[in-house]
Amino acid sequence: MSTFKEMVASDIPAFLNADEFAETHELNGKKYTCIVQSPKEDAMFQTQEIYSGFESTHGQVIIIHIAKDDYGEVPAEGESFTVDGDYCLVDNVIDDMGILTMTLHKNH
């Protein structure tokens, strides 16, 4: 019988499947199959919650979901990062059972 963690790990390729949810994107100069979300395009950053240092700064929040085994070393908060050639900064990274969820911001 498989453990729960083994079952979740076996589901990662289905979740990050290019035929289903994921697409190929260039992250820091390398191509990866991942999911890139941009839920708050051209919105003012949330000054009270996450972006306390960016009052009145307009930009874009980008969230990336990628298999940890595919990406490798986890980027650090504040690190510069490129997504499809666009310069961003890493806000935070969460390792959720083998999938990295990276939250980035790009200033306009």
CATH assignment of the domain containing 78: 2.40.10
Tell me which residue of 30, 45, 90, 32 sits closest to 63, measured CA to CA. Answer: 90
Give me the percent of the chain exceeding a pLDDT of 90.
45
Work out the average pLDDT over 35-52. Answer: 56
pLDDT at position 20: 77
User: What residue numbers bound the domain in which 11 lies?
Assistant: 4-107
pLDDT at position 40: 55
Split into its structural domains, the chain has a count of 1
Higher per-residue confidence, 70 vs 20:
70
Global pTM reads 0.77
pLDDT at position 22: 87
